[in-house]
Chains A and B, each alone.
Chain A
Amino acid sequence: MGAPWQVIVLNDDHNTFEGVAHALAAVLPGVGYDQGLTFANKIHSSGRAVVWSGHKEQAELYWEQLQGHGLTMAPLERT
């Protein structure tokens, strides 16, 4: 068992709160629009937020999908 991989979204100046929330809700299992907004707030206030963590392969998939939605992604990190 290894430590989980983290999918991290960075703050930027071209995505709206709603756009980020929609993207997160569309890609991440178990994340709805409301939680997406919570993440968006955290990204905005902290500059970044871990939005998902777990197996590397899944992390890579979500990372690519979120990037495909136009979000600014940090490289995958291992906790």
Chain B
Amino acid sequence: MLLAITNGGKLGLGLVAGLFIVFAILSSFYFPRRDPEFPGNRLGAFVAVAALLFALTMGGVIVFAAEGGEENAAEPATATETGGSTGTTTEAGGAAAGDPAAGEAVFASAGCGGCHTLKAAGSSGAVGPNLDDAKPDAALVVERVTNGKSPMPPFKGQLSEKQIQDVAAYVVQSTKG
């Protein structure tokens, strides 16, 4: 979390928080030593300053940390956009939001090619349907990979939903492109 905050954000947050800490230490140790009655009749001002510093610190957390958060969130957002833009074929095939490039790796590691022929992957398995011929849409691939259909095993639990979306996007792109 802290690493996600920008350097400028860290500096700003540090300054505001530091100010609050200095104020707290002074109020606890220094001022009472000089004036045992502290804050005396200026209690209202003391509470106001404390409230102001508290609000500034919380505001700083929201502003600076949110900045970092947005940057952090920018990566997956970019990936989604990429999936969306390169996935024009995907959308046509069934509105999968997967990333075909990532799906290629899933196709290889999950052993899909052992049973399915897919020219793009260089596979020639003959147990299940030839994907180049079947040209399944993304929804069908997601359904079959998730739940299986004998003799194809369900991959739910072994592959994440994202991986299944990715491999569906890859199959659709490879067979309709």
A contacts, CB < 8 Å to B: 1-4, 6-7, 28-31, 35, 49-55, 78-79
8 A–B pairs (Cβ distance < 8 Å), ordered by A: A1-B158, A4-B153, A6-B114, A6-B127, A49-B151, A50-B127, A51-B151, A54-B148
- A50 surroundings in chain B (CB, below 8 A): 115, 127, 151
Interface set, chain B 128-177, CB cutoff 8 A to A = 148-155, 158-159
B residues adjacent to A (C-beta < 8 A): 109-111, 113-115, 125, 127, 148-155, 158-159
Looking at A2, A3, A7, which has the most chain B CB atoms within 10 Å of its CB?
Answer: A3
A4 to B110, alpha carbons, bound, how many Å? 8
Q: Closest 3 interchain pairs by CB?
A: A79-B114, A3-B111, A54-B153
The answer to whether A79 and B150 touch across the interface, beta carbons within 8 angstroms, is: no
Q: A6-B127, A50-B127 are in contact. Are A28 and B150 (CB under 8 A)?
A: yes
Closest-by-CB residue of A relative to B116 is A79
Given contacts A1-B109, A3-B111, A51-B150, 19 further A-B contacts (CB under 8 A): A1-B155, A2-B111, A4-B111, A4-B114, A6-B114, A6-B115, A6-B127, A35-B150, A50-B151, A52-B150, A53-B115, A54-B148, A54-B154, A78-B114, A79-B111, A79-B113, A79-B114, A79-B115, A79-B127
Q: What's the minimum C-beta distance from B2 to chain A, rounded to whole angstroms?
A: 33
Task: Tell me the bound Cα distance from A39 to B159 in angstroms.
Answer: 27
Interchain CB contact under 8 A, B110 and A1: yes
In the complex, chain A residues whose CB is within 8 Å of the CB of B158 = 1
A6 to B110, CA, bound (A): 13
Residue of A6, A28, A29, A50 with highest tally of chain B CB at under 10 A: A50
Complex formed: what's the CA distance from A31 to B109 in Å? 27
- Output the least CB separation between B116 and chain A (Å): 9
Q: Are B151 and A6 in contact (CB under 8 A)?
A: yes
